Amino acid sequence: MELTENQEMYLKILDEFIEQEVEPRLKELDTVDEYPFWMQQRMAELGFTRLVAPEEYGGLGENMTTLLLLIMRACQYNNTLGSLLNCSNNANKLLSFANEQQIETFLPRIVEEGKFMGMAYTEPSGGSDSRAVQTTAVLDGDEWVINGTKSFISYRSAVGSWQVSAKTVDEEGNEGISVFLVDAQAPGVSYGAHYDKFGWCGSDTGDVYFKDCRVPKWSVCGEINKGLHVSLSTLDGARLVIGARAVGYAEGAFEKAWEYASTREAFGRMLTDFQALQHYFADMYSDAQVCRGYLMHLASELDAGRSIGKGGSIAKLKCTTMAQQVCQRAMEICGGMGLLKDFGLSRYYEDACVLITGEGTSEIQKNIIFKAIKKDHR
Ligand SMILES: Cc1cc2nc3c(=O)[nH]c(=O)nc-3n(C[C@H](O)[C@H](O)[C@H](O)COP(=O)(O)OP(=O)(O)OC[C@H]3O[C@@H](n4cnc5c(N)ncnc54)[C@H](O)[C@@H]3O)c2cc1C
């Protein structure tokens, strides 16, 4: 694929940043489970946190193809780097539903400060069933009062605003689910300790509590009781972003395994001289290339303003499954070294496992794909 001048320029800036500032701290990033504020600040300074935000709102107006290319490169090194690139995509997500007050209050936090618009959807009772929300929002005069607990919520210390799903009742007494945009530091919002988890080191994932959290009436995203439309409307892009992260992990793990196998001897030969391992490398490389190509195709469709239908779910399912398999194989190729944290390979596998679960598990993606196939065959 031929890159545009802009894409080459952004990749060059990102590569220089990685080489000079990220690579020297990779071990720390892989082992110290704290959000790297320094990285957020530098990514904002370099302009990456405004990459795909529209120019009229202070963004650089780049497209999905450019975003995915950069995320694939970033995730070959570090997961948070990929998340920060996606921050600018939060601006487009916000603009897809926001009213004037929401844009004025929250957009600058994304575009100027590089703070995420986080998703607070999952609850202790479950994440796959987005309708099984227990959190409530009740209208009291000119304010909504939100009460509930959200769990498994990421990048809490780096978020400027939360999209929060809650059960609501409209003026006619109809029940539904609405989504609210809430200041991350609003009174009534508090945070539990971060989880000790497998993968996504430094993502500050944990509970977010809403206790009598009062927000202005204009905090509703879109229409009352139509919250699921808000969350579903930007899922296509979000799933491609997950796919791009997955390709990045797979390619990062591939390089690490290649470096090891091409310098390690066994039985008087290089590991890369064994045909069994040659076939592993051929499979790993081909699988990542196919996923990369499919993502680029879907991104160009979105950039052309066309819908990608079930493509987003197919990409999420296939890219994340591929990444988990490739990263696991890469670890096996490196023998015992592959299992040492210090070696810097196992974290790709851990991160890939997180992708399988986040933003709709593989089973949920298969449900969506099957439903779409069935509809196509009516
Ligand atoms: C590191 C990390 C970060 C996260 N960050 C966020 C975040 O920022 N914001 C947020 O809102 N959430 C976040 N999540 C939560 C994530 O979205 C949920 O974990 C995910 O949606 C699955 O929900 P669950 O864990 O409750 O599993 P469940 O919903 O309990 O599912 C358990 C199993 O049952 C399967 N299953 C469930 N329903 C069906 C069905 N209908 N058909 C077939 N199989 C089914 C699932 O596929 C899964 O294998 C994060 C999770 C992790 C691990």
Task: Give CA–CA dist 363/369, Å, rounded.
Answer: 10
Task: Check whether residue 241 and residue 371 sit in a common domain.
Answer: yes
Check which CATH number belongs to the domain holding 256 and give it.
Answer: 1.20.140.10
Q: Is the predicted pLDDT of residue 230 greater than 90, yes or no?
A: no
Is the CB of 126 inside a 6 Å radius of any atom of ligand 1? yes
Is the CB of 127 inside a 6 Å radius of any atom of ligand 1? yes
Element (H, E) at 117: strand 116-120
What region, left, alpha or beta, does residue 55 occupy, with left being phi > 0 and alpha being psi -120 to 50 degrees?
A: alpha
Query: Could you tell me how many residues make up the chain?
Result: 378
Over residues 197-216, the pLDDT tens digits come to 999 999 999 999 999 999 99
Q: What is the mean pLDDT of residues 334-350?
A: 96
The pLDDT of residue 228: 85
Q: Are 261 and 275 in contact (CB under 8 A)?
A: no
Task: Check whether residue 243 and residue 341 sit in a common domain.
Answer: yes
Q: Are 111 and 44 in contact (CB under 8 A)?
A: no
| Mutation probe of ligand 1 site: the residue of 79, 128, 235, 362 with most atoms within 8 A of C-beta | 128
- Nearest CA, atom 25, ligand 1: 127
Task: Give CA–CA dist 367/364, Å, rounded.
Answer: 5
What string of DSSP letters covers 266-332? ETTEEGGGSHHHHHHHHHHHHHHHHHHHHHHHHHHHHHTT---TTHHHHHHHHHHHHHHHHHHHHHH
Q: Which of 64, 82, 114 marks a domain boundary? A: 114
Q: Which two tokens stand for residue 289?
A: 């290339």
pLDDT band at 112 (very low <50, low <70, confident <90, very high): confident
Q: What is the mean pLDDT of residues 42-50?
A: 94
Check which CATH number belongs to the domain holding 34 and give it.
Answer: 1.10.540.10
Query: Coil, strand or helix: which one is 317?
Result: helix
Task: Give CA–CA dist 326/196, Å, rounded.
Answer: 25
Q: Which two tokens stand for residue 25?
A: 């701290």
Active site residues: 359
Task: Check whether residue 240 and residue 366 sit in a common domain.
Answer: yes
Question: In whole numbers, what is the pLDDT of the chain averaged over residues?
Answer: 95
Q: Which of 97, 114, 131 marks a domain boundary? A: 114
State how many domains the chain has.
3
Task: Check whether residue 39 and residue 12 sit in a common domain.
Answer: yes
Atom of ligand 1 nearest to the CA of 120: 11
Atom of ligand 1 nearest to the CA of 203: 1
The pLDDT of residue 288: 98
Task: Give CA–CA dist 80/204, Å, rounded.
Answer: 11
What string of DSSP letters covers 31-44? H--S--HHHHHHHH
pLDDT band at 1 (very low <50, low <70, confident <90, very high): confident
The pLDDT of residue 304: 96
Query: CB burial class (10 A; 0-12, 13-18, 19+) of residue 187?
Result: exposed
Based on its alpha-carbon atoms, the radius of gyration of the chain, rounded to whole angstroms, reads 21
| Mutation probe of ligand 1 site: the residue of 122, 197, 200 with most atoms within 8 A of C-beta | 122
Stretch among 107-121, 136-150, 325-339 having the lowest mean pLDDT:
107-121
Q: Which of 114, 145, 162 marks a domain boundary? A: 114
Atom of ligand 1 nearest to the CA of 155: 8
Burial 131-166 (b: 16+ CB within 10 A, else e): eebebebeeeeeebbbbbbbbbbbbbebbbbbbbbb
Burial 204-238 (b: 16+ CB within 10 A, else e): bbbbbebeebbbeeebbbbebbbbbebbeebbbbb
How far from chain centre, in Å, is Cα 8? 23
Task: Check whether residue 267 and residue 361 sit in a common domain.
Answer: yes
Task: Check whether residue 300 and residue 354 sit in a common domain.
Answer: yes
| Residue that wins the pLDDT comparison between 171 and 336 | 336
Is the CB of 200 inside a 6 Å radius of any atom of ligand 1? yes
Is the CB of 48 inside a 6 Å radius of any atom of ligand 1? no
Q: Are 128 and 361 in contact (CB under 8 A)?
A: yes
Task: Check whether residue 262 and residue 197 sit in a common domain.
Answer: no
Q: What are residue 144's DSSP bridge partners?
A: 139, 215
Q: Is the predicted pLDDT of residue 233 greater than 80, yes or no?
A: no
The domain containing residue 35 runs over which residues? 5-114
Q: What are residue 226's DSSP bridge partners?
A: 177
The pLDDT of residue 131: 86
The pLDDT of residue 273: 97
Q: Which two tokens stand for residue 3?
A: 């890159």
Task: Check whether residue 203 and residue 264 sit in a common domain.
Answer: no
Task: Check whether residue 200 and residue 280 sit in a common domain.
Answer: no
The pLDDT of residue 235: 81
Over residues 75-88, the pLDDT tens digits come to 999 999 999 999 98
Q: What is the mean pLDDT of residues 319-330?
A: 98
